[in-house]
Amino acid sequence: MSYPSNLRYSDQHEWVLLDGSVATVGITDHAQKQLGDIVFLELPKVGAIVEAGKPCGTVESVKAVSEIFSPVTGAVTEVNSALIESPEWINQDPHGKSWMIRVSLSAPAPLDKLFTAAQYEEYVRQETAS
Amino acid sequence: MSDQDIQKAARHVSQNERLIFELSSPGKAAYQLPPLDVPLAGPAEALGPEYVRAELAGFPEVSEIEVVRHFTRLSTWNYGVDTGAYLLGSCTMKYNPKINEVVARLDGLSNAHPCQPESLSQGCLRILRDLSKALVEIVGMDAITLQPAAGAHGEMTGMLLVRAYHERQGNPRKKVLIPDSAHGTNPASAAIVGYQTVSVASNSEGTVDLVHLDRLMDEEVAALMLTNPNTLGIFERQITAIGEIVHSRGGLIYMDGANMNALVGVSRPGDFGVDVLHLNLHKTFSTPHGGGGPGAGPVAVKKILEPFLPVPLIRENVDGSLALEFDRPQTIGRVRAFCGNFGVLLRALAYILANGAEGLRQSTEDAVLNSVYLRKRLEGAYDLPYRAPTLHECVFSDKHQARHGVHTGDIAKRLIDYGFHPYTVSFPLIVSGALMIEPTESESKQELDLLADALLSIAREAEQEPQTVLSAPHSTRLRRLDEVQAARRPVLRWKPAQE
């Protein structure tokens, strides 16, 4: 399992890359492993407003349909439309080419609620143990 | 494993068969018509030119015996409840008694037309009325519509009634609460009716977390959609407290009646605070649904929701005759043509009358007994994440087998080799690696033992020779299908090679 240290992580298993007032969002390695083979992805449109902790899309695997929760609040500036065509990338490379949306932040990222890589790794360990 | 362990299935019978389109040869027909003895009428003049196709492309042309053999051979690829236990949890794949089919084929019923005048439809209307009365009594509600064509359609109808009720009170409200163990159709139905859905957590027992519910419940919540017993097969024992929390802030209780087969004759939703519920006649009341139904999802309500029910309802005239009643000013309107799926409703009434009150109660008790028996035989070999008493179904996890790399989907595939239809895989989502098993009342102890032996044998294989399980099924016509590719790149239509 990989936990890149340049990312922050939500308790709903999204990762976010913070770069000034722009955030890039995807789902974590752990999330894709839990979901299994991903077959369908639905993302918000460019211009849509997303809110931290609220659903912003859905991801469907052969096992289940799950909501994607935005870890940040702001307006969507870019959507990875290539990923929508090839959702299997999420299983192959969840942190790299499988970024989902870029968000222009309208409020500071809720850093108190976003795990660091080490905290997230511990969170996953505890969640899978129970 | 030795071959003796597989007691039920040997090799699966499966004749090779091509698509019927590929069997076609031009000019072949399965019928001969006598020469035309009336003047020829052009379809364009009779129907209007917009309904006439210039050519009928690609229809298969085959003889009668070719058609019969084609579908008979295809049927050898099938597995149905008439072949053996069909364990899909939450789907209630109970046996469909043949008496239902005998009744449905009676001339006066199979040839009845929905546009027949009421005076000639008294028998059919009486069937609908009697079924309505029986169902209302079974669930302890006040009124019912038989129109919805399936469970999710019933959910939508029920939520439309909820919305109509709140609109009448002056505020349609915004949210619907749904436990995280619910069927996926619940949030979908609430959303279709314009509600925002909010998930309620389960506690460690697997039932609704009252503290969380109490925190979420406010004056903008239209209803709680609750399945009882829930998808873990656990009865919501705090249902009275749940009802009080929701009702005290003006909300309604919607019950998903998908698991009503665990309650019929024993406990009535109307008595434990439910305001509206749907039934799945194709589950609880034994009408067919393997292969797509059709189903029926009647919606029963308390008095407060009755004014909004879809039209028509059935009215009894002073002379005792029956009529369809359309004059209901607050109705949400029609949700289905005519009176719903009449053939399904008819079979449900046949089932109810053939069983009688005592028989229905016995069915419920047997369904629970069968499920608990299986649970007891499998406990230990399979992990049981929620240990509260269960009713008609139980949910194991693949935790023990996962240590050897074997997961619920693999166990399900292996079960096919043993001659059983798999259980429900990976649902409910609150159990990781779920095996959801519902044997129904239809199974004998002998069949349950075969099944338990098969699952115990697979648990041993998972430990000692996991590769056998991971590469299953071995005895079927086709081996593992590529489910991922089927979902990502579905091929839904046959096209001739030359196109």
Instruction: Report pLDDT digits (tens) over B314-373.
Output: 999 999 999 999 999 999 999 999 999 999 999 999 999 999 999 999 999 999 999 999
**ipTM > 0.95 (yes/no):** no
Q: What is the pLDDT of residues B13-47, one digit of tens each?
A: 677 888 999 899 988 887 888 999 999 888 888 89
User: pLDDT tier at B492 (50, 70, 90 boundaries)?
Assistant: confident
- Give, in order, the Cα–Cα distances in Å from B268 to each of B38, B148, B358: 61, 21, 15
Q: What is the pLDDT of residues A42-97, one digit of tens each?
A: 999 999 999 999 999 999 998 888 889 999 999 999 999 999 999 999 999 999 99
3-state DSSP of chain B: CCHHHCCCCCCCCCCCCCCHHHHCCCCCCCCCCCCCCCCCCCHHHHHCHHHCCCCCCCCCCCCHHHHHHHHHHHHCCCCCCCCCCECECCCCCCCCCHHHHHHHCCHHHHCCCCCCCHHHCHHHHHHHHHHHHHHHHHHCCCEEECCCCCHHHHHHHHHHHHHHHHHHCCCCCCEEEEECCCCCHHHHHHHHCCCEEEEECECCCCCECHHHHHHHCCCCEEEEEEECCCCCCCCCCCHHHHHHHHHHCCCEEEEEECCHHHCCCCCCHHHHCCCEEEECCCCCCCCCCCCCCCCCCCEEECHHHHHHCCCCEEEECCCCCEEEECCCCCCCCCCCCCCCCHHHHHHHHHHHHHHHHHHHHHHHHHHHHHHHHHHHHHECCEECCCCCCCCCCEEEECHHHHCCCCCHHHHHHHHHHCCCECCEECCCCCCCCEEEECCCCCCCHHHHHHHHHHHHHHHHHHHHCHHHHHCCCCCCCCCCCCHHHHHHCCCCCCCCCCC
pLDDT of B236 above 70: yes
Residue B78 has what pLDDT? 83
Q: Tell me which residues of chain A have a C-beta less than 8 Å from any C-beta of chain B.
A: 34, 37, 39-40, 60, 62-65, 87-88
Token pair 């307006």: residue: A75
Lowest-confidence segment of B45-59, B308-322, B387-401 by average pLDDT: B45-59
In whole angstroms, what is the distance from residue A104 CA to residue B398 CA?
A: 42
Stated length of chain A: 130
pLDDT of B1 above 60: no
Q: What is the pLDDT of residues B251-265, one digit of tens each?
A: 999 999 999 999 999
Residue B498 has what pLDDT? 65
Q: Closest residue of A to B424, CA-based?
A: A63
User: pLDDT tier at A11 (50, 70, 90 boundaries)?
Assistant: very high
Q: In Å, how far is A39's CA from the nearest CA of chain B? A: 5
Residue B2 has what pLDDT? 55
Considering only CB atoms, which chain A residues are within 8 Å of B426?
63-64
Q: For residue A54, give the DSSP letter.
A: S
- Mean pLDDT computed over B131-135: 98
- Mean pLDDT computed over B441-458: 96
B6 Rama sector, left if φ>0, alpha if ψ -120 to 50, beta otherwise: beta
Residue B4 has what pLDDT? 64
Lowest-confidence segment of B102-106, B235-239, B348-352, B493-497 by average pLDDT: B493-497
Considering only CB atoms, which chain A residues are within 8 Å of B429?
64
The reply to whether residue B426 touches residue A34, judged by beta carbons under 8 angstroms, is: no
Residue B26 has what pLDDT? 87
Residue that wins the pLDDT comparison between B409 and B14: B409
User: pLDDT tier at B11 (50, 70, 90 boundaries)?
Assistant: low
The pTM (predicted TM-score) of the whole model is 0.87
pLDDT of B183 above 70: yes
Residue A130 has what pLDDT? 59
Identify which of A34, A64, A88 has the shortest CB distance to residue B488.
A88
Q: Give the distance, in angstroms, between the CA of residue B416 and the centroid of all CA atoms in the same chain.
A: 22
The reply to whether residue B488 touches residue A39, judged by beta carbons under 8 angstroms, is: yes
Between chain A and chain B, the number of residue pairs with CB atoms below 8 A apart is 22
Above pLDDT 70, what percent of chain B? 97
The reply to whether residue B432 touches residue A34, judged by beta carbons under 8 angstroms, is: yes
Residue that wins the pLDDT comparison between B275 and B12: B275
User: pLDDT tier at B12 (50, 70, 90 boundaries)?
Assistant: low
pLDDT of B422 above 80: yes
Q: Give the distance, in angstroms, between the CA of residue B210 and the centroid of all CA atoms in the same chain.
A: 29
- Mean pLDDT computed over B195-212: 93
Q: Tell me which residues of chain B have a C-beta less than 8 Å from any C-beta of chain A.
A: 184, 425-427, 429, 432, 483-484, 487-488
Residue B473 has what pLDDT? 94
The reply to whether residue A62 touches residue B432, judged by beta carbons under 8 angstroms, is: no
Token readout for A72 is 């940040």
- Mean pLDDT computed over B464-469: 97
- Mean pLDDT computed over B454-471: 97
pLDDT of B189 above 70: yes
Q: What is the pLDDT of residues B214-225, one digit of tens each?
A: 999 999 999 999
Residue B262 has what pLDDT? 97
Domains of chain A: 8-129 (2.40.50.100)
Q: Closest residue of B to A61, CA-based?
A: B484
Residue of A62, A67, A84 best to disrupt the B interface, most CBs of B under 10 A: A62
Lowest-confidence segment of A29-33, B25-29, B103-107 by average pLDDT: B25-29
What average pLDDT does the structure give for chain B?
A: 93
Considering only CB atoms, which chain A residues are within 8 Å of B484?
37, 39, 62, 88
User: pLDDT tier at B53 (50, 70, 90 boundaries)?
Assistant: confident
Residue of B199, B202, B426, B489 best to disrupt the A interface, most CBs of A under 10 A: B426
Domains of chain B: 18-75 (no CATH), 101-353 (3.40.640.10), 359-486 (3.90.1150.10)
The reply to whether residue B184 touches residue A39, judged by beta carbons under 8 angstroms, is: no
Q: Closest residue of B to A40, CA-based?
A: B488
